Amino acid sequence: MTVLRDGYDALLLDLDGTLYQGDLEVRGASEALSSGTQSLYYVTNNASRRPTEVAEHLTELGFDADESRVVTSAQSAARLLTENVGPGSAVLVVGTEALADEVRHVGLRPVRSFADSPVAVVQGHSPTTDWAILAEATLAIRSGAVWVAANLDSTYPTARGLVLGNGSMVAALRTATSRVPLVAGKPAAPLLEDAMRQSGSVRPLVVGDRLDTDIEGACTLGVDSLLVLTGVSTPLDVLRAAEQQHPTYLAAGLDALNASAENSRICEDSRWSVEFDGRDLVIESAAVSAESIDSIALLRAAAVGAWKFPDFDWIISTSPAVSAVVSGWSN
């Protein structure tokens, strides 16, 4: 049987919310990835860890990973720096030693003070970033330094919940400088471009849990994408997704890679009629109980209608079974 992954020569996999949550594997993720012949590339917006550290973490959780198949936004940020400043230039690093290593690796000179005359600033997540280093960066950016952000993620997941991410620290510098940075990570193109180049892929599938990073990044590059509902984005997010954030496929989890592509493709589905009455989407079905409904299949069908009529108020149905499923999407 031909399965979804067979249509692609590489899988560009997001990590957090897609393969793991903190120190826990997303249930069944490593097993779902273990079959198939595509190369697996691990593509992360997080610039705080070295590729070797990311590969070790993945291996501990049971994934088939090595350093050569990890692509980080720190690497892409360093690549962007080389395209904007001369060899050997001083670069002020707002971020971890792992980010400084990438700067060094591309032949630039990481510094931590404006007094070292940096011609660029690179900014990635670090739990120890404080006012003092942001002040150095402010001085450099205000004096005209090139500014590269590893990503603009507003939040960062921890075991205690979401805390401020690199994008929130970038926002502080934007306020202080009235400048905007070049961006390496998803949904900007550089990181996924680097992953495609590194994998040699001509037909990759981007797999992730966030519409506003993974899926929008895939749309920016014009490649197919699979959204899995194991992380941040919710059914409601799918229904309200802007056009540049529409995934090709939608599934509960990575198992979908090993089933028919048509099972997960977002397209009209003859099991449901979806119409717009001028205010609401009206979905009808012959199904008699909520248990008999494949809720993800219903969500795909609803998404087709919701994307066609984005001003819809909500979803209604004369079927209690459909209404019961839809009520679970409202938050």
- Contact predicate 207/175, CB 8 Å: no
The H-or-E segment that residue 13 falls in is strand 10-13
Pick between residue 181 and residue 185 the one whose CB is nearest to Mg ion.
185
Pick between residue 215 and residue 298 the one whose CB is nearest to Mg ion.
215
Is residue 16 annotated as a catalytic residue, yes or no? Answer: yes
Residue nearest to Mg ion (CB): 17
Among 10, 13, 16, 290, binds Mg ion (CB under 5 A): 16
- Among the candidate windows 17-25, 97-105, 116-124, 278-286, which touches Mg ion by CB under 5 A? 17-25
Cα distance between residue 78 and residue 101, in whole Å: 9
**Residue for token pair 């003859």:** 270
Task: Report the nearest approach of Mg ion to the CB of residue 155 (Å).
Answer: 11
Among 14, 136, 216, 224, binds Mg ion (CB under 5 A): 14
| Per-residue contact flags (x/-) with Mg ion for residues 102 to 131, judged by CB under 5 A | ------------------------------
Task: Report the nearest approach of Mg ion to the CB of residue 95 (Å).
Answer: 19
Pick between residue 165 and residue 305 the one whose CB is nearest to Mg ion.
165
- Contact predicate 75/50, CB 8 Å: no
Cα distance between residue 218 and residue 289, in whole Å: 36
Tokens at residue 218, please? Answer: 């895939």
Cα distance between residue 330 and residue 237, in whole Å: 10
Among 4, 17, 187, 317, binds Mg ion (CB under 5 A): 17
Pick between residue 73 and residue 319 the one whose CB is nearest to Mg ion.
73
Pick between residue 14 and residue 194 the one whose CB is nearest to Mg ion.
14
The H-or-E segment that residue 149 falls in is strand 146-149
Task: Report the nearest approach of Mg ion to the CB of residue 227 (Å).
Answer: 10
Binders of Mg ion in range 127-166 (CB under 5 A)? none
Cα distance between residue 239 and residue 234, in whole Å: 9
Tokens at residue 274, please? Answer: 């979806």
Q: Which residue out of 6, 9, 14, 212 is catalytically annotated?
A: 14
Q: How many residues bind Mg ion (CB under 5 A)?
A: 4
Binders of Mg ion in range 183-212 (CB under 5 A)? 209
Tokens at residue 291, please? Answer: 């248990």
- First-to-last C-alpha distance (Å) of the chain: 37
Whether the bond into 187 is cis, omega within 30 of 0: yes
Tokens at residue 171, please? Answer: 């926002």
Task: Report the nearest approach of Mg ion to the CB of residue 226 (Å).
Answer: 13
Pick between residue 24 and residue 115 the one whose CB is nearest to Mg ion.
24
Q: Which residue out of 9, 16, 130, 224 is catalytically annotated?
A: 16
CA distances to 12, 212, 220, 273, 276 from 281, in Å: 34, 24, 29, 10, 5
Q: Where does this chain bind Mg ion (CB under 5 A)?
A: 14, 16-17, 209
The catalytic residues are: 14, 16
